[in-house]
Structure 1
Amino acid sequence: MKLTGSQIVVECLKEQGVDTVFGYPGGAILNIYDELYKHDQEIRHVLTSHEQGASHAADGYARATGKVGVCMATSGPGATNLVTGIATAYMDSVPVVAITANVTVPLLGRDSFQEIDITGVTMPITKHNFIVKDVTELADTMRRAFFIAQEGRPGPVLVDITKDVTAAVTEYTRQEPWPVLRSTEYIKDADLETAAEMINKSERPFLYVGGGAVISNASEEVRALAHKINAPVGDSLMGKGAFDGRDELYCGMIGMHGTKASNFGVTDCDLLIVIGARFSDRVVGKVSKFAENAKILQIDVDPAEINKNVMVDASIIGDVKEVLKRLLPKLDENAHEDWVKHIEEYKNKFPLKYDPAGLTGPYVVKELYRITEGNALIVTEVGQHQMWAAQYYKYKEPHQLLTSGGLGTMGYGLGAAIGAKVGCPEKTVINIAGDGCFRMNMNEIATAARYNIPVIEVVINNHVLGMVRQWQTLFYGKRYSNTILNDNVDFVKLTEAMGAVGIRVTKKEEFEPALRKAMELGRPVVIDCIIDKDDKVFPMVPAGAAIEEVFDQDDLK
């Protein structure tokens, strides 16, 4: 049948099973929006307050549901406003398709009104991108975009469509989505045998679990591996939930704000088994000292990650879940009793701790865990509160923590929480924010209020840029250059002005009733928690130092 380009876009979204799009209209994309209007019973459009909010919402939707997140924006500034969200998704391997419109083909390259070369702009931060100048290529380009976003290591794909293509007419035939299979073509028997031999001979194995284990839904296999060889487990920020945080073998996060038990475990082990992780600098610290007593076995779907940041002794390339399924039967059961006891002593000697006297970030996060019984979907912004959320909430399953790990995007969390709640309406979705991050994209409270999306925003408000201030305190002689936010902005009034519910908490005993009220209301709620400006995240490793140089408040004394 003959359809316009705009109709083809909508039909392709329906082909892919897309039920929600986050976006913001404008002149160049009007034809597509006009077509969406006619299909509002099949595809829900969520109008965000800013295009960046749309890209973060698509990201949060994708991470929470495992499906592709979709966002839309018009040409020029609309498209460029998506860039931060696209880069965030790229760094954390999130399947997002961003659809933008551009000026007509005759106007390309002429500095036309609201023209931008968005494919050129986003080339380094997309898995792939396209500009469609011929309507006959549109349907297959859309299909390729969704396939590329999901296959292998996921990531964002951008499709830019010129306005004349959205109006042009061509033949369209519906197709089923192209099948996306787990990546197994590079899993070699010899690599599996080598890995099995290394693991079976190891006396002190340690598991380092990353975001790839979350993406591949490999939590059952990771647990089976850890318990079969009785190995302690640490994770990266992105790996949270791939291994149950309540398990007796769990040691905590590894790296700059990791636990001493995990950091010392990596240092003391004789085999580090790296599962779906890319050796981020925030995990590794000083490369030459990282796991220097160990052989390293890396399992990853992306060949480019092997020997990129840290040289490894062996590797298996393939989908983590599939690799572990094939590896597990080759492994001997092993108790490693002395090794596990050694790590248990670290855990007992160096527990996470904080000042219990007043309202603090760790107290708030621990209360969130207790009151939600560990079942909430937690989203975070970036900073101290993000690290407290990683340390004190026990994640028991994949896709339970949504956070910007690679890019570290302040302003990510609120949009992502909206996307997550739209995708998982049955879950309690809580965004943990700092006051600096909340200021960046707090306009999305208006989005949540407009659609009555009942996200809960918990602002850990210390009236400073807390993580930067912590560095200024420890390493910059307490020179607090432009990190003090002690002004007259009232987050509660601001929240109410945007149509949501605002609650202020200044004492420990006020937090539980505030959270329970927020959970019962069924409306978007902001809980403004006032804490001390000099609360710090510990443990900590100085930038560029070895991870065994981790210190806490006791060491400072």
Structure 2
Amino acid sequence: MRSGDDQTGRTGADLLVDSLVRHGVDVVFGFPGDTGVALYDALSRRQTDLRHVLARDERHAAYMADGYSRTRRHLGVCEAASGAGAVYLASGLGEAFASGIPVLAVTTDNNHRSRGTLALSEIDQLALFSAVTKWRCAVESTADIPRAVGEAVTAALSGRPGPVALILAENLLEETADVPVPEGSATVPAHRGSAAAPDVATAAAMLASAERPAVVAGGGIHLSGAWPNLTDLAEHLALPVATSIHGKGAIAETHDLALGVSGGNGARTYANAYLAQADAVLFVGTRANSTDTAGFTAPPRAGVRVAHIDIDVDRAGRNYPGAISLVGDAATVLDQLRAAAPRLGDEIRAARVAALRQDRRLWAEQDARPSPDPGPDLLRPRDVVRALHRAFGPATWVVADAGTPTPYLASYWEAPGDGWRVVIPRGHGPMGFAISAAIGVSIGHPGERVLCLTTEGSVAMGLGDWETAGRLDLPITFVVLDNTSMGWIKMIQHLYLDGRYFGVDPGRIDPVLLAAGMGLPGGRATHLDQFDLLVKESASRSGPSVIHARVPEHMDSPPPVAAWQAALSGASTERPIH
């Protein structure tokens, strides 16, 4: 019998831990506080069943749970104590909430006896978590803990997944109750609903009759595990497939029908150009917002027929009026469409594949033209991404921060179509996400190499967890792309405020020295050959290491951001909106 399986008179902390275990949870990311000491005592007794990963702060624990959940399709769990701990945890849940990632946040709260006394760390946690969770509950009795855990897990995984919060006063963890602990599942998705048959038939006919059809796939493909289903439909109807950044890798990006990432950030020019001229588009598991569609130009809102698969009835077709709403699980509905549509003829298929090959060839030729020298000791981000792809291969888990890494990974890293292998936070785009999220990915995939691309600005926000990676000896290669400024904002000031720079030039930091202070080996690359050597050394280590590469500022080497390229060419002077 495992410790804690006795069904009589157990503490609330033991009931909580046992409830998590019986729902298939195998890891909790957290940071201790005084209201949670009973929980930590219970965790210490169940280490063979439930692993606790100590983060350096609560926000980072949430990012770890997010990365773990995205890439494993298994509920991520994080925990924090009352007051500031809960506030920090809430700030880390915003990205998961916007991106539809299932995370269970467990927080402890002040003792019921101190309610309303202005106690240290008192805060209304239900109000605090209301903006970043889809469900939340303050448990009122120890006997209710197992039921509340089951409801929380169901809420996190049902419908459009998302974070939930379970709040337990410290006295509930110490009191005892004699209640059963039911079992459950923590796997995503919880239910595979199908779309209405008449809507499926209409959408299938739309795609089959189109002269220039396309698919735009988002993160919903990954959460559903619908990669083979998407590829099957694409091949059945010869549908070119683009993805959002979240959807990157929904189909193998080397596939004959793959357009790569589309939208406003990191798209190859031919992807947006194709979508701008499409006559029928199927959105799958994507918000289809302004960023994902290059300001609603790829595809446009007028003159194109649209169908939209989404698990959430309120999101399907929201941004494209008149769209056919296909509400259901991505894998299930894609299979419905394939069954409802006749297979396309070989002649049309060959013509579409040939056209896409020509588009890719022309893009590659243009991209291969000589670029200006970036300057002394500076590396081009494009060259860095390609060097990493050569060294580690497409199947590597990649986690990146907002800013410089995002457009270059979107455009130049070709992912296989078998998982959410390229994790970039595009729900809210938080800085300081990647270091901690990479740890969550590494915990979820033991022994597999994880590549983390971050920036000096994000390092300043998240470097504490370099110590965590070192303490756990995780095989993570951290690459810091350093342009010594708040480069994204500075580029906006450059393009749209006539170069009036303000508040975007903090002092320089030294990532290699900071890494050494956390116990990680590191090196600085001033040219590409040196970078390649450092990458090779990193790959040979069992644990983490840091590579620092200085890169040009965006105004000196503009990244593939559609609106910025339009502004630089004079085609547009209007600042894009999200």
- C-alpha distance in structure 2 between counterparts of 1:272 and 1:183, whole Å: 26
Q: CA deviation at 1:553?
A: 7.1
Among 455, 460, 463, the residue aligned to 1:442: 463
Change beyond 3 A, Cα 1:551–1:329:
farther
2:475 pairs with 1:454? yes
Q: Is the 8 A contact 1:240 1:398 kept in 2?
A: no
Say which is worse superposed, 46-55 or 174-183, in terms of deviation: 174-183
- C-alpha distance in structure 1 between counterparts of 2:453 and 2:423, whole Å: 10
Q: Read off the aligned partner of 1:353 and give its amino acid letter.
A: D
- C-alpha distance in structure 2 between counterparts of 1:38 and 1:238, whole Å: 38
Alignment of 1:412-491 (within 5 A): 412-487=433-508, 489-491=509-511
Q: Deviations over 1:106-150 (max 9, x none)?
A: 323433211111121111211201101211211110111112211
Q: Deviations over 1:433-456 (max 9, x none)?
A: 111111111111111122222321
Q: Is the 8 A contact 2:146 2:182 kept in 1?
A: no
Alignment of 1:221-236 (within 5 A): 221-236=229-244
TM-score (norm. length: structure 2) = 0.91
Among 272, 296, 314, the residue aligned to 1:263: 272
Q: CA deviation at 1:66?
A: 1.3
Where does the alignment leave 5 or more consecutive residues of structure 2 unmatched?
1-7, 573-578
- C-alpha distance in structure 2 between counterparts of 1:44 and 1:306, whole Å: 38
Where does the alignment leave 5 or more consecutive residues of structure 1 unmatched?
544-548
2:303 pairs with 1:293? yes
- C-alpha distance in structure 2 between counterparts of 1:532 and 1:436, whole Å: 14
Q: CA deviation at 1:207?
A: 0.9
- Partner in structure 1 of residue 576 of structure 2: none
Q: Once superposed, what is the RMSD of the aligned Cα atoms? A: 2.2
2:332 pairs with 1:322? yes
Q: Read off the aligned partner of 2:289 and give its amino acid letter.
A: S
Aligned-residue sequence identity (percent) comes to 27
- C-alpha distance in structure 2 between counterparts of 1:174 and 1:531, whole Å: 54
- C-alpha distance in structure 2 between counterparts of 1:134 and 1:121, whole Å: 21
- Partner in structure 2 of residue 353 of structure 1: 367
Secondary structure class of the residue paired with 1:71: strand
Q: Deviations over 1:373-409 (max 9, x none)?
A: 2121000011121221111111112220112111101
Among 524, 536, 540, the residue aligned to 2:544: 524
Among 272, 279, 291, the residue aligned to 2:288: 279
2:399 pairs with 1:379? yes
Among 122, 129, 132, the residue aligned to 2:136: 129
- Partner in structure 1 of residue 217 of structure 2: 209
- C-alpha distance in structure 2 between counterparts of 1:28 and 1:508, whole Å: 50
Change beyond 3 A, Cα 1:213–1:230:
same
Among 26, 34, 38, the residue aligned to 2:41: 34
Change beyond 3 A, Cα 1:179–1:440:
closer
Say which is worse superposed, 396-405 or 74-83, in terms of deviation: 396-405
Q: Is the 8 A contact 2:396 2:451 kept in 1?
A: yes
- Partner in structure 2 of residue 101 of structure 1: 108
2:127 pairs with 1:117? no
TM-score (norm. length: structure 1) = 0.94
Q: CA deviation at 1:482?
A: 1.7
Among 317, 320, 341, the residue aligned to 1:331: 341
- Partner in structure 1 of residue 81 of structure 2: 74
- C-alpha distance in structure 2 between counterparts of 1:412 and 1:18, whole Å: 23
Q: Deviations over 1:496-523 (max 9, x none)?
A: 1111111111111111110111111112
Change beyond 3 A, Cα 1:459–1:120:
same
Secondary structure class of the residue paired with 2:406: helix
- Partner in structure 1 of residue 262 of structure 2: 254
Q: Is the 8 A contact 2:74 2:186 kept in 1?
A: no
Secondary structure class of the residue paired with 2:292: helix
Secondary structure class of the residue paired with 2:336: helix
Change beyond 3 A, Cα 1:312–1:551:
farther
Q: Is the 8 A contact 2:248 2:260 kept in 1?
A: no
- C-alpha distance in structure 1 between counterparts of 2:71 and 2:292, whole Å: 24
- Partner in structure 2 of residue 511 of structure 1: 531
- C-alpha distance in structure 1 between counterparts of 2:91 and 2:193, whole Å: 33
- C-alpha distance in structure 2 between counterparts of 1:356 and 1:369, whole Å: 23
- C-alpha distance in structure 2 between counterparts of 1:463 and 1:138, whole Å: 49
Q: CA deviation at 1:329?
A: 1.7
- C-alpha distance in structure 1 between counterparts of 2:475 and 2:241, whole Å: 35
Q: Read off the aligned partner of 2:338 and give its amino acid letter.
A: L
Q: Deviations over 1:511-553 (max 9, x none)?
A: 111011111111221100112224544433339xxxxx95777
Change beyond 3 A, Cα 1:262–1:312:
farther
2:6 pairs with 1:6? no
Q: Deviations over 1:199-252 (max 9, x none)?
A: 121111011111111110111111111111112111101001111111121122
Change beyond 3 A, Cα 1:516–1:12:
same
Aligned length in residues: 550
- C-alpha distance in structure 1 between counterparts of 2:401 and 2:118, whole Å: 36
Q: Read off the aligned partner of 1:234 and give its amino acid letter.
A: A
- C-alpha distance in structure 2 between counterparts of 1:541 and 1:256, whole Å: 5
Q: Is the 8 A contact 1:209 1:274 kept in 2?
A: yes
- C-alpha distance in structure 1 between counterparts of 2:186 and 2:400, whole Å: 33
Q: CA deviation at 1:17?
A: 2.0
Q: Is the 8 A contact 1:4 1:169 kept in 2?
A: yes
- C-alpha distance in structure 2 between counterparts of 1:426 and 1:451, whole Å: 11
Q: CA deviation at 1:341?
A: 4.7
Q: CA deviation at 1:306?
A: 2.3
Q: CA deviation at 1:427?
A: 1.5
Q: CA deviation at 1:41?
A: 2.6
- Partner in structure 2 of residue 540 of structure 1: 561
Q: Read off the aligned partner of 2:502 and give its amino acid letter.
A: S
- C-alpha distance in structure 1 between counterparts of 2:544 and 2:427, whole Å: 28
Q: Deviations over 1:50-95 (max 9, x none)?
A: 1111111111111121111111110000011011221111111111
Alignment of 1:169-208 (within 5 A): 169-177=176-184, 183-185=191-193, 187-208=195-216
Q: Read off the aligned partner of 1:349 and give its amino acid letter.
A: L
- C-alpha distance in structure 2 between counterparts of 1:392 and 1:552, whole Å: 21
- C-alpha distance in structure 1 between counterparts of 2:301 and 2:362, whole Å: 21
- C-alpha distance in structure 2 between counterparts of 1:378 and 1:433, whole Å: 11
- Partner in structure 2 of residue 546 of structure 1: none
2:406 pairs with 1:398? no
Secondary structure class of the residue paired with 1:81: helix
Q: Read off the aligned partner of 2:279 and give its amino acid letter.
A: D
- C-alpha distance in structure 1 between counterparts of 2:317 and 2:118, whole Å: 43
Alignment of 1:136-175 (within 5 A): 136-175=143-182
Q: Read off the aligned partner of 1:509 and give its amino acid letter.
A: D
Q: Is the 8 A contact 2:301 2:320 kept in 1?
A: no
- C-alpha distance in structure 1 between counterparts of 2:152 and 2:568, whole Å: 46
- C-alpha distance in structure 2 between counterparts of 1:218 and 1:140, whole Å: 31
Q: Deviations over 1:310-368 (max 9, x none)?
A: 22431211000011112212212222555555554443434473738552111111111
Q: Deviations over 1:420-479 (max 9, x none)?
A: 111101311011011111111111111112222232110011111222222222222122
